[in-house]
Amino acid sequence: MTIQPPAPGEPRRPHGPRDPGDAWVVAPTGEKYWGRFGAAGLLALDADRGVLLQHRVAWSHFGDTWALPGGARHEGESARDGALRESGEEAGVPVDAVQARFESVLDVGIWSYTTVVADVTTPFEPVISDPESVALAWVPVDEVEDLPLHPGFAASWPSLRAALEVRPAVVVDVANVMGSVPDGWWKDRTGAAERLLTRLAALAVSGMDATALGLTATQWFPSVIAVVEGEAKTVGLRTDSVRVVRAPGSGDDAIVDAVRDLDPSWHPVVVVTSDRGLAARVEALGATVHGTRWLLDQLP
pLDDT per position as a tens digit, 130-147:
787 889 999 999 999 999
Confidence (pLDDT) at 4: 43
Segments of the chain with pLDDT less than 50: 1-9, 12-16
Confidence (pLDDT) at 84: 95
Given 120, 146, 163, the domain boundary residue is: 163
Q: How far apart are CA 247 and CA 261, in angstroms?
A: 14
User: What length does the chain have?
Assistant: 300
Our measurement of the distance from residue 237's CA atom to the centroid of its chain's CA atoms, rounded to an integer in Å, reads 23
Given 121, 147, 163, the domain boundary residue is: 163
Bridge partners of 133? 56
Confidence (pLDDT) at 182: 82
Domain match, 217 and 143 both: no
In this structure, is the dihedral angle defined by the CA atoms of residues 35, 101, 280 and 231, taken in order, positive or negative? positive
pTM for the predicted model, two decimal places: 0.81
Domain match, 190 and 269 both: yes
DSSP H stretches of helix in the chain: 79-91, 151-163, 174-179, 189-206, 210-213, 251-261, 276-283, 292-296
Given 163, 182, 198, the domain boundary residue is: 163
Confidence (pLDDT) at 17: 52
Q: How far apart are CA 198 and CA 212, in angstroms?
A: 20
Direct distance between the N- and C-terminal alpha carbons of the chain, in angstroms, rounded to an integer: 35
Is residue 207 within 8 A of residue 103, CB to CB? The reply is yes
Residue 284 CB-density burial (10 A; 0-12 exposed, 13-18 middle, 19+ buried): exposed
Domain match, 190 and 149 both: no
Domain total of the chain? 2
Domain of residue 182: give its range. Answer: 169-296
Confidence (pLDDT) at 3: 44
